[in-house]
Homo-oligomer: A and B are copies of this chain.
């Protein structure tokens, strides 16, 4: 079996994480090209992972270089075009979350992949993180009975890039940060959303120089699932204190808590007026290091072997749909139902 040749599209933080995982921990893959609008960034990442072919645009890469798959790690508003274009060229597509800006864009991507018969995987790496996988396994096995209350939270340390402040370009924090929670609770509940209600607040925008309309940095969401389960999601970004992602599921026969605010099994005590100190998770690449690694390995297996991705375009679409409903909810101050066609 020959190695999967991958082109990285987007050489930012997520692109770097994926490229390194492909190069150092995925023997069946090789990064052959890097595409980024900023030539220096493309070159830098290319050099780091041994990909001599660097391009300013995807079209240039498609023309000049031979590859089998792309990993798209660019801003949300570019996902649809990039994915449709590469799928159309017969290349497998890994696309970072959020999948796209609208449900219609998601549909375009799903259709494009279907037409070409290529894989389309969305970047919900929590589905590959051991403790989340184990939680899902236990729930599916009935260990805690039927999920009744499903809760998830994500807090990111720093202010996202400016395009992510803007609802038009990103759908805001609920998309950029809490997409993971929407996907995760739906996966763990084993059921689709039927209704969402959101409250949001802008608490740090002014002090961080954000003047974008409709910016919010805190949100809580009440959820209802088709199964009859209810739930909550909450997000804060910037949270400053660290990266925090935890899930809690109350089932008819028990409780599961997944994740821990503590980042390493170290306890330090120096002063009883301070307390016992344990490292926090600092960043998302660190918190989900293992999940990111296995996510790439899984994508490469799928691309080489023809299996169905563990996270499909439909999964990505459900998350986009729920995020949009949540945004509508807080803007219109009412619960928003999610239908079959939503």
The size bracket of the interface on A is 35 or more
Chain B residues whose C-beta falls within 8 Å of the C-beta of A244 in the assembled complex? 255, 269
Our pick among B130, B143, B277 for the contact of A276 (Cβ within 8 Å) is B277
Given that A148-B236, A255-B269, A269-B242 are contacting pairs, would A228 and B203 also be in contact in the complex, using a CB cutoff of 8 Å?
yes
Name the one of B222, B252, B272 contacting A221, with C-beta atoms under 8 angstroms. Answer: B222
A197 contacts which of B197, B231, B256, B265 (Cβ < 8 Å)?
B197
A201: Cβ under 8 A from any B Cβ: yes
Instruction: Report the bound CA distance from A263 to B131 in whole Å.
Output: 10
B280 touching A278 by the CB < 8 A rule? no
Cβ-defined partner of A270 (8 Å) among B197, B230, B254, B333: B254
Question: Is the Cβ of B131 less than 8 Å from the Cβ of A252?
Answer: no
CB-defined contacts of A262 to chain B, threshold 8 Å = 265, 275-276
Number of copies: 4
- Among the listed B134, B264, B268, B279, which residue makes an inter-chain contact with A266, where contact means beta carbons less than 8 Å apart? B134
In the complex, whether A295 has a CB less than 8 A from a CB of chain B is no
Asked if A229 is at the interface (CB within 8 A of a chain B CB), the reply is: yes
Residues of B within 8 A of A43 (CB): none
Residues of the B chain whose Cβ atoms lie less than 8 Å from the Cβ of A221 = 222
Q: Does A260 contact B (CB under 8 A)?
A: yes
| Chain B residues, Cβ within 8 Å of A220 | 149, 151, 222-223, 230-232
Is the beta-carbon distance between A265 and B131 smaller than 8 angstroms?
yes
Complex interface residues of chain A between 94 and 153 (CB less than 8 A to chain B): 130-131, 134-135, 138, 143-144, 146, 148-149, 151
Q: Is the CB of B135 within 8 A of A266?
A: yes
**Residue in B closest to A155 when the chains form the complex, CB atoms:** B250
A79 at the binding interface (Cβ < 8 Å): no
Given that A25-B25, A135-B266, A278-B278 are contacting pairs, would A224 and B199 also be in contact in the complex, using a CB cutoff of 8 Å?
Answer: yes
Is the CB–CB distance between A144 and B268 below 8 Å?
A: yes
A169 within 8 A of B: no
Quick check: B146 and A203 within 8 Å, CB to CB? yes
Contacts of A198 in B (CB 8 A): 222
B146 and A242 form a contact (CB under 8 A) = no
With a cutoff of 8 Å between Cβ atoms, the chain B residues found around residue A234 in the complex are 149, 151, 230, 232, 250
